[in-house]
Amino acid sequence: MRILGIDCGSRFTGYGLIDSDGTRHRLVEAGVIETRPSDPLAERIFQVGARLREIIAEHRPEEAAIEDTFISINARSALKLTHVRGAAFFICAEAGVPVAEYPPAQVKLALAGSGRAEKEQVQRMTRVLLGLPEPISSLDASDAVAVAICHATRRPVSATR
């Protein structure tokens, strides 16, 4: 099954595509959609949505997983993040790709064994689980791959084909 993982951000949105049978995972592609903070928020959301649309059209994921909003001290940043998540949900729904959501602590627990793992620990575990010679270069991209792996290992049995 091909799974698209998305780690939304108003400046950097990570994405990662894996092929998985639920226990073995293979990296297809990972990257970051970067927007300029000087651009209006509407333009940044459009850029993220347009790029996700291209990724979905090219790679045809069967399912997607998006990390829940991390509620931080900065409410303004959390609101921007929520707008980007909305665009990601819209693009997936438009393409007919079912979407699951996972809290950050659940993603960290699934990959690193601790819901409080640091981003670098998650990055190392994505490398190990995928058998990569080097870690994924971006923390945002490795987080997105981690969301995809979390979904592959925790998706409901009724959703399997």
For residue range 81-128, list pLDDT tens digits in order: 889 999 999 999 999 999 999 999 999 999 998 988 999 999 999 999
What structural domains and CATH numbers belong to the chain?
A: 2-159 (3.30.420.10)
Structure tokens that stand for 100 in this block: 């699951």
- Please report the pLDDT score of residue 76 as a whole number: 79
Is residue 7 annotated as part of the catalytic site, yes or no?
yes
Query: Active-site residue among 63, 67, 94, 143?
Result: 67
Query: Active-site residue among 7, 19, 62, 134?
Result: 7
- Please report the pLDDT score of residue 60 as a whole number: 98
Residue 72 pLDDT > 90, yes or no? Answer: no
Residue 160 pLDDT > 50, yes or no? Answer: no
pTM: 0.93
Is residue 140 annotated as part of the catalytic site, yes or no?
yes
The percent of residues in the chain predicted with pLDDT above 90, rounded, is: 84
Cβ burial of 78 (10 Å; 0-12, 13-18, 19+) is middle
- Please report the pLDDT score of residue 159 as a whole number: 45
Cβ burial of 12 (10 Å; 0-12, 13-18, 19+) is middle
Structure tokens that stand for 5 in this block: 């993982």
